[in-house]
Amino acid sequence: METRLLEGYNCIITGSNRGIGRNIVEKFAANGANIWACARRTSSEFEQDMQDLAKQYQVTIEPVYFDLNSEDEIKQAISMIRKTKKSVDVLVNNAGMPYGALLQMTPLKDLKEVFQVNYFSQIYIMQLVSKIMMRQDRGSIINMASVGGIETNPGYLAYGSSKAALIWATRSIAKELGRYHIRVNAVAPGLTETEMGHYKSEEELQKVIDRTGMQRMARPEEIADAVLFLASEQASFVNGEVLRVDGGR
Ligand SMILES: NC(=O)c1ccc[n+]([C@@H]2O[C@H](COP(=O)([O-])OP(=O)(O)OC[C@H]3O[C@@H](n4cnc5c(N)ncnc54)[C@H](OP(=O)(O)O)[C@@H]3O)[C@@H](O)[C@H]2O)c1
């Protein structure tokens, strides 16, 4: 039998209902993790899917709901998790939103929303969860950044700068929390086969694929593998790192 890398860990994963997040939930469950699977809103399909995964891998998966636009909802959700008195071993800040527009086509209102979802809410979740982890003197946080926060192109103002800020926060917070045995890392995927991956036009997608060494998009499970590595003890001395998973761009 294969070693289950997260046996008995308790993990919070945001954006669990689809795309990369759904793949992280399955990968973590297959590795023995119990999961608080966070989604924006309740749905019976999601709840059924989580129940099926829990049964398949003999772990517990509890749906938790909050919108990253609502600080109150985030606070209530993390407070509910804290009140279970279970350890929180891993936080995966995966949920995020795409946005593509040139400078003159980016109203400040939109820019603020992108930063709320892709940056401020992620910081707020880290503030609340790291408090629990500091008391435990243990934890691992993985933020979902993007190659778009490292390289730039026209139209990347909002999305790219929100992810660049998240990368900077990851590196900065890693230096603060290392002394509490909390590792903070980021994964920076290239184009990945999800709804967000197809946010660009077919022509733009092809251009990115052409300049990718592997000449294809990532499969979401390939991104989940990188998250699993960072969450596990296999990465016990990896801290403040931004792991590109982009097929060689
Ligand atoms: N796909 C790519 O090519 C790619 C590349 C680099 C980085 N990434 C990053 O990877 C992460 C996952 O992306 P994905 O490709 O899996 O995208 P996706 O399939 O579009 O899924 C996005 C997830 O984020 C959730 N979300 C978005 N806004 C939210 C909000 N306000 N409150 C709560 N949840 C919210 C969505 O929930 P709903 O279902 O309710 O909308 C969904 O679960 C994101 O951070 C993204 O920026 C993706």
Is 90 exceeded by the pLDDT of residue 200? no
Token output for 240: 């403040």
Rounded CA-CA distance 75/70 in Å is 9
Confidence of residue 2 (pLDDT cuts 50, 70, 90): confident
CA 103 to chain centre: 27
Q: Please tell me if the CB atom of residue 21 comes closer than 6 angstroms to any atom of ligand 1.
A: yes
Q: Are 53 and 29 in contact (CB under 8 A)?
A: yes
Among the listed residues 182, 197, 151, 144, the one whose alpha carbon sits nearest the alpha carbon of residue 166: 144
Q: Please tell me if the CB atom of residue 221 comes closer than 6 angstroms to any atom of ligand 1.
A: no
Indicate which residues carry an active-site annotation: 159
Confidence of residue 219 (pLDDT cuts 50, 70, 90): very high
| CATH architecture for segment(s) 10-243 | 3-Layer(aba) Sandwich (3.40)
Token output for 20: 């990369």
Q: What is the pLDDT of residues 38-77, one digit of tens each?
A: 999 999 999 999 999 999 999 999 999 999 999 999 999 9
The residue contributing the CA closest to ligand 1 atom 40 is 40
Rounded CA-CA distance 23/16 in Å is 8
Q: Please tell me if the CB atom of residue 235 comes closer than 6 angstroms to any atom of ligand 1.
A: no
Q: What is the pLDDT of residues 106-122, one digit of tens each?
A: 999 999 999 999 999 99
Token output for 93: 């800040």
pTM over 0.85: yes
227 CA → ligand 1 middle, Å = 15
Is 80 exceeded by the pLDDT of residue 1? no
Mean per-residue pLDDT, 198-216: 94
